[in-house]
Amino acid sequence: MRTELTQARLSGIKTELLAVLAADNQTAKGPDAKAEPQLLTSDAAIIAAAAAVLAGGEFKAGANETLLLHAPAGLAAKRLLIVGLGKLAKIKVSSVRNAAGTAVRFAKPRGLKDLAFALPEADPLPAAACARAAVEGAFVGDFDPDTYRSDRKDQSLASFTVAAPAAADKQSLQAAFDEGVIVGESQNFVRSMVNEPGNKLTPTVLGERAAAMAKEVGLECNVYSTEKLHELKMGAFWSVSQGSAEPPALIVLRYEPAGVADGPVLGLVGKGITFDTGGISIKPSADMEKMKYDMAGGATMIGAMRTIALLKPKVRVIGIVCAAENMPDGKAQKPGDVQTAMSGKTIEIINTDAEGRLVLADGLAYAKQLGATHLIDAATLTGACVVALGMVNAGVFSNDEETYAKFAAGLEVSGEKFWRLPLGDEYAEMIKSDIGDIKNTGGRWGGASTAAEFLHTFAEDTPWIHLDIAGVAWVETAQPYIAKGPSGIAMRSIVEWVRSFQ
């Protein structure tokens, strides 16, 4: 998709589709109060073209609601699309991101290839932040998961133009716009990997894709396999992969910015289970096909490293992805087995389907060995987190308030939804083992927190954040701004967390 930034007069832009934003500025209260849609533009020709239809009450300006006008009078555009943001008092920059995705997804099935998107003229929405969000949203909206359809029709948008107010600072607009292109492309890079079936994206292939990306953007990359796991004594990681005919992949990416020789080193660790049957504790067959996305945390870290390489923050970063298949053959680990992790801690295997925390245990230990001073991991880790938060928020845990505060502040930029869940000695007590140091599950109750405490055992006192993205890594029902399928969740937030250290 070709992207462009302009500050031209909106009514003079020649395009197949011009999208403008509106919000509900309803002031009256009570059951009889009606929506009062207000266009967020000062362009008189657009206001005049839409006046009659807005006055008719058909359009309420609800979030991502759309209204199309053909051949609007006084405009160079062939069509005018009005996209709602919801209540004026509640709109955020993230509302603009979703609206841009909505506009793109409106255009695609109609065969429209050229779209101009007008940034809102409204407080408190800064133009630069909206420019970045809009182009991110456009890339998100342009992605579809039907990669392997034999009759697939390319409905991708050819051109997306962000139209900013003439009064906005051009330099800051362009910088934010360029960042949005990088982030949007990287999020779709993540989604393309998560979308792949397990027979196409094995641990080895995931390593190859990471290496190809690293070469393209100038990252150092090493991909190891079985011998390296044994050399490092990664017994927890190896135990997951030992039941599969596919070898594991330990993917290590390094970003070393010029002129930065000291300071923090950030370790990004991702769960890369390219297919999860559950192992000997095999999953029910219903919905097992979705377990191809159990590597979403690993893909997120690969995409984050791509973004970091292109945005060039002044902080050193190491990305580690522990990729494996979890399969139930005669060599697979069994419930009751005891494994020794890289750190030397022993783990009693209660359930072989609690495998993500095993690979992350060794990934976290290895990140510390490589010099990481701060850690963040991402994983589709627990169904318990989905029970707690639904498919709305991802879970976040941390052992360090300052580190968490940086992450939370970045959510204002990323627009992603995370909810902090608790750690604590009570949860740690639930995973103590009678035969070894810890168990890999703590029972039914508090499952997201006991899983996080398991990882805390390996992060130890190193400032650390754990992201449980199980409920939001896959969009179960298509939304106006995003297709059903992989979401690419957490990448934007991780990148903002990294940038907070520069």
Which amino acids are annotated catalytic? 283, 357
Pairing of strands 394-398, 464-468: antiparallel
On the CB side of 409, CA atoms within 13 Å amount to 12
Helix boundaries (H) for 156-225: 170-194, 203-217
Q: What is the DSSP code (8-state) at residue 76? A: S
8 A C-beta contact, residue 88 and residue 125: no
Residue 239 half-sphere exposure, CB side, CA atoms within 13 Å?
A: 33
DSSP letter at 289 equals G
What is the C-alpha to C-alpha distance for residues 376 and 71, in angstroms, rounded to an integer? 51
- Rounded distance between C-alpha atoms, residue 292 and residue 277, angstroms: 9
Tokens found for residue 64: 């991502």
Dist CA 177 CA 12 (whole Å) = 21
Handedness of CA 286, 289, 290, 295 (dihedral sign): positive
Q: Is the dihedral of CA 104, 108, 110, 112 positive or negative?
A: positive
Q: Measuring CA to CA, which residue among 331, 335, 374, 356 is closest to residue 501?
A: 374
CA 470 – CA 164 distance, rounded (Å) = 37
